[in-house]
Chain A
Amino acid sequence: MSAPGELRVPVLPSGTRRRLVHGGFIAIALLYVGILVIAPLIGIAWAAFQAGWSTIVSTLKQPDVLHAFYLTGVITVITVIVTSIFGVIVALVIARDRFPGRALMSAAVDLPLAVSPVIVGLMAVVLFGLGGWFEPWFTSHGIRILFAVPSMVLVTIFICIPFVIREVVPVLQEVGVTEEEAARTLGASSMQTFFRVTLKNIRWGLLYGIALTTARSIGEIGAVLIVSGQLTGQTETATLYVLRAFDQFQDDQGYIVALTLALVSIVLLVLIEIFKRRQERTQRT
């Protein structure tokens, strides 16, 4: 039809066909997400409510369930506080300070993202378990790290380190130092400058990072499973409870607590989306 060697560029299809093709792409995307993500959510809601309302209520009132939620909450709060405070400090150093080894520091921050949680649990075992580097010191002082809450907090902190830092660093870089310089020329001390200018500017990035940390901390299973020793009522988080429930064929309870966790995560997700949108908006101004 066309001469050999002539460039053949496909012709634009008619309007209807084009719309069908685009619609097709959108449909595929929606279908994939629907099957992969939405369906399981519906599944768990259905399974939980299958158990009946009274079971739901009684499960949520069980002492070991309540303790599990409580423990998850405590670990999460501590993790959020520690990773936020130190995270902001590290972010300030990475974004503003220039010194050899800065790249290494940045890589260290990303390391927890690459590591499987079971390996993190293993790290704690290697450090604090029998024959571990720190074990003798803690044992001689009568402090239990492993198979107790402290190790669970430590592994969760490890896993959550990157979130705040990775969200705050780009904001710090984007915002720059001139506002802080202006504050200093107006007489503000370093503390005043930090709290009144810097912190306000990283606000949304920080909150976004905190929301991500909270979600991750609530959902942690691999590492805490290894270090907890699974002592019911003492070192069992909500996720560990669910695991045990299924192990012990208490599927109904498992579904109910899992659904609760899913609902909490959805609320967190909404917050995450809000903070993310706010952060993007600030970046653009």
Chain B
Amino acid sequence: MTAAHQMTGTPIRVENLWKRFGGFEAVKDVTFTAEAGSITALLGPSGSGKSTVLRMIAGLEEPTAGRIWMEGEEHTFKTVQERRVGFVFQHFALFRHMTVAQNVAFGLSVRKQPKSQQRARVQDLLELVQLTGFRDRYPDQLSGGQRQRVALARALAPQPKVLLLDEPFGALDARVRQELRRWLDDLHQELGVTSLLVTHDQDEALELANRIVVMHEGRVEQVGSPDEVYDEPATPFVAGFVGSSSVLHGHVVDGHVQFGDHRVPGAGHLAEGEPARAFIRPHDVRVTTTPLGGSLPASVERIVNLGWLSRVVLRLPDDQVLTAEIPNDELGGVEVGSSVSVDLRRAKAFPSAAVEDLELATEMTATPAGP
């Protein structure tokens, strides 16, 4: 097993990582790899253990069990300093008593690089992050977005083999977040440093990452490309967390999930007659005012106009709630209070499992109600 995983060049490989804090297990049996030059996102809600995994890779936490490999070399027992990773913190962690230039040069001066070399590298990096005029400013004179760019420059200065980002845009305004997201994407294209990004924002993960590791309560739920994770969620959690869904409960009939007269395909992997839940994306819901055979009757509870499409909240006869997103020019006659027919295109079905999963589902159905 060891020989196969010692491929030179796989920048990051994490194997059976566990972390226990006292009695609490924060990370449970996490395994994944990150390919050279890629951006891999660790995506999950707060408390899912993703930051802990990142910090263990950086060496800021010690794993309770498991191993870490970087570029074919085992790093599990190396100190932080020995690992030569670049780390970007959520709250920037800039050295408040040093100028921007001194901050960026820190990793170089610690390794006793000659001053002229340091100065040149700092200049290059400031150009890269578009902050050349700011070299003598102090962190408290910068905006949030500027600070994070300095933090990035600082992390990249010593030419790390891997770049680790811990919710880098979490402390920024929404608009700045968008800007920096795009900017990071461009930067990554240019530099090609293998990056591992921790985030709870699925839009960010879907937009930036080549691969996503979805985490929940310390475990890996799914590893895949953004398309895979979105279109083919492997577990109910992923189905509910990535993208928005409504959850409907029904039974498995002939490879379909059946609710009343209507059935939706996608339950081929489940046992006949089993109770199941179907996760349905809002854009996979068709609504018409003319009743159609084999479709679900529903009444329209709410319509929210989002510009070019509308979010329509539907109430089914058995009191379940379904959310649809329909382009405004396809709404035709659908109004609050009207009775409509619902046609479900696709669904991702999972067995109706334990009570905790049920609670999760209830959370998911409750979300689409917002304005």
Is the beta-carbon distance between B89 and A181 smaller than 8 angstroms? yes
Instruction: Report whether B89 and A178 are in contact in the complex, using a CB–CB cutoff of 8 Å.
Output: yes
Known: A186-B158, A187-B107, A201-B97. A178 touches B91 (CB 8 A): yes
Given known A-B contacts A181-B93, A182-B87, A183-B106, A189 and B140 have beta carbons under 8 A apart: no
| Residues A188 and B89 in contact in the complex (CB < 8 Å), given A179-B95, A181-B60 | no
Query: In the assembly, what is the distance between CA of A181 and CA of B97, in Å?
Result: 16
Whether A92 sits at the interface, judged by CB under 8 Å, is no
B58 interface contact, C-beta 8 A: yes
Secondary structure call for the A interface: helix
Using an 8 Å CB-CB cutoff, how does the interface string of A179-222 with B read, 1 for contact, 0 for none? 10111111111001000110011010000000000000000000
Contact A285 to B60, CB < 8 A, known contacts A178-B89, A186-B158, A187-B81: no
Please, which residues of chain A bring their CB within 8 A of the CB of B86?
Answer: 185
CB distance from B310 to the nearest CB of A (A): 44
In this assembly, does B100 line the interface, its C-beta being within 8 Å of a C-beta of chain A? no
User: In the complex the two chains form, is B97's CB within 8 Å of A200's CB?
Assistant: yes
* Cross-interface CB contact of A184 among B60, B91, B98, B158, cutoff 8 Å: B60
Interface residues of B in 85-116 (CB under 8 A from A): 85-87, 89, 91, 93-98, 106-107, 110-111
Q: Which of A19-77 contact B (CB under 8 A)?
A: none
A101→B85 CA distance, assembly (Å): 36
Interface string of A211-237 (1 = CB under 8 A from B): 000000000000000000000000000
Q: Does B50 contact A (CB under 8 A)?
A: no
Interface residues on A, range: 10 to 19
CA distance A31 to B91 in the complex (A): 48
Q: Does B149 contact A (CB under 8 A)?
A: no
Decide yes or no: A186 and B107 within 8 Å by CB, A181-B60, A285-B140 being known contacts: yes
| Complex Cα–Cα for A17 and B334 (A) | 69
Q: How many angstroms from the CA of A186 to the CA of B96 in the assembled complex?
A: 16
On whether A187 and B60 interact (CB within 8 A), knowing A178-B93, A179-B95, the answer reads no
Shortest distance between the CB of A112 and any CB in chain B (Å): 31
Compute how far the CA of A183 lies from the CA of B87 in the bound complex, rounded to whole angstroms.
Answer: 10
Residues B84 and A187 in contact, CB atoms below 8 Å apart: yes
> Bound complex: CA of A47 vs CA of B81, how far in Å?
64
Q: Mark B58-85, 1 if CB is under 8 A from A, else 0.
A: 1110000000000000000000110011
Bound Cα distance A182, B91 (Å): 11
B251 at interface by CB-CB < 8 Å: no
* Minimum C-beta distance from A77 to chain B (A): 27
A sample of 25 inter-chain contacts (CB < 8 A) reads: A178-B91, A178-B93, A179-B94, A181-B80, A181-B87, A181-B93, A182-B93, A182-B94, A182-B95, A182-B154, A183-B110, A184-B80, A184-B81, A185-B59, A185-B85, A185-B86, A185-B87, A185-B155, A186-B106, A186-B157, A187-B81, A188-B81, A189-B81, A201-B97, A285-B96
In order of increasing CB-CB distance, the 9 nearest A-B pairs are A186-B107, A185-B87, A178-B93, A182-B93, A184-B80, A200-B97, A188-B110, A187-B110, A187-B81
A residues in contact (CB < 8 Å) with B: 178-179, 181-189, 192, 196-197, 200-201, 203, 282, 285
